[in-house]
Amino acid sequence: MRPQVFVTRQLPSPAIGRLAEVCDYQIGVERGVLNRDSLLAGVREVDGLICLLTDAIDREVIEAGTRLRVIANVAVGYNNIDMAAARARGVYVTNTPDVLTEATANLTWALILAVTRRIVEADAFTRAGKFTGWDFDMMLGSGITGKTLGVVGYGRIGRAVARRATGFGMQVIYCGRDDVAFRDDPRHNSIMIARQGNTSPLSQSARLDGLAARRVSFYQLLEMADIVTLHVPLAAATRHLIDRGAFARMKPTAYLINTSRGPVVDEAALVGALRERRIAGAGLDVYEREPEISAPLLEMSNLVLLPHIGSATLETRTAMAMLAVENAIDVLSGRAPRSEVRL
């Protein structure tokens, strides 16, 4: 008997075609988000689940899948999955790293350029018929050459964003997950200061990437960076990582970019920082209560808003779906999955 797989949403045809070679499958919904009852019904009596970041795969769902052996998430992040419940049931959880790195890094730079050069604002100005001729002071933005890019989270995407900064003549500083998790630990900060005093301040990861990127503490990054870009997963240590205190440390000329997860930023604090011009502007691709966007954000002219399209290219989304399918097939064929989430 062939393995049975439930796919919460229709995926690109190459991925579904590959799945059909090995497994029997059902698709929950053609477009949009699958409702809760259909999700619970779908996981019963199947061996594998292929889901999206909009699907809440909590303990109830996992326990409903009495035969479940693998949960293949079509995303890098996995905060939509109860990892403890999956581990307790011996269910593999997989994600789709690497294949969306370049697309997300490119989108991050699109946001950086859009907000610093007021691209969206200028487009609306032009379409409204307000452009009556060139003017010396019209739509002045902020240059980035010679400025400092601060990368919070120096994983695959963070490093890809940093690589692009060299082409714009920017300096790069960064902090990693440990720097964020232990940001209030004096012992950790003492180690960071000692490391920066070393004659060779570049981290091993920075050397491997060929980047002159300098590792600093989280608070130093906030104080030094002209652009702060977020590339951390959503976890207890990163929820509201950027809050009122963080904005108070940033330069009034600095910009915030978030293409990671919405709750990493306290949106109420962001509204206050933008209104009071404690920072110059921001660019968001993700939101705290997605898909809801708080009304004050919609009113901000110094803010660029995108509908969570970091990986939204045809090539990338197809590659993500293919990797998720291959992960599911690996497990259901008795092999270790190629991108298992390991905590």
Closest listed residue to residue 321, CA positions, set 3, 17, 21: 17
The two structure tokens encoding residue 82: 């109860």
Cite the DSSP H helix spans in 200-251: 204-208, 218-224, 244-249
The two structure tokens encoding residue 290: 């997605």
Write down the catalytic residue from 69, 177, 188, 308. 308
Pairing outcome for strands 92-94 and 255-258: unpaired
Q: For residues 279 and 283, what is the distance between their CA atoms, to the nearest angstrom?
A: 12
Contact status, residue 318 vs residue 15, Cβ threshold 8 Å: yes
Pairing outcome for strands 171-175 and 148-152: parallel
* DSSP state for residue 34 in the 8-state scheme: P
DSSP-based three-state secondary structure for 123: helix
The phi and psi torsions of 202 (rounded to 5 degrees) equal -80, 140
Q: For residues 131 and 9, what is the distance between their CA atoms, to the nearest angstrom?
A: 44
Write down the catalytic residue from 60, 63, 223, 290. 290
Instruction: Decide if 261 is catalytic.
Output: yes
Contact status, residue 67 vs residue 45, Cβ threshold 8 Å: yes
CA angle, 183 as apex, 204 and 254 as ends, to 5°?
A: 85
Beta bridge partners of 94: 72, 340
Residue 85 identity = A
Instruction: Decide if 44 is catalytic.
Output: no
Q: For residues 258 and 262, what is the distance between their CA atoms, to the nearest angstrom?
A: 7
Instruction: Decide if 63 is catalytic.
Output: no
Pairing outcome for strands 227-230 and 213-215: unpaired
Write down the catalytic residue from 261, 278, 317, 326. 261
Q: For residues 247 and 251, what is the distance between their CA atoms, to the nearest angstrom?
A: 8
Q: For residues 285 and 262, what is the distance between their CA atoms, to the nearest angstrom?
A: 8
The residues that are catalytic are: 261, 290, 308
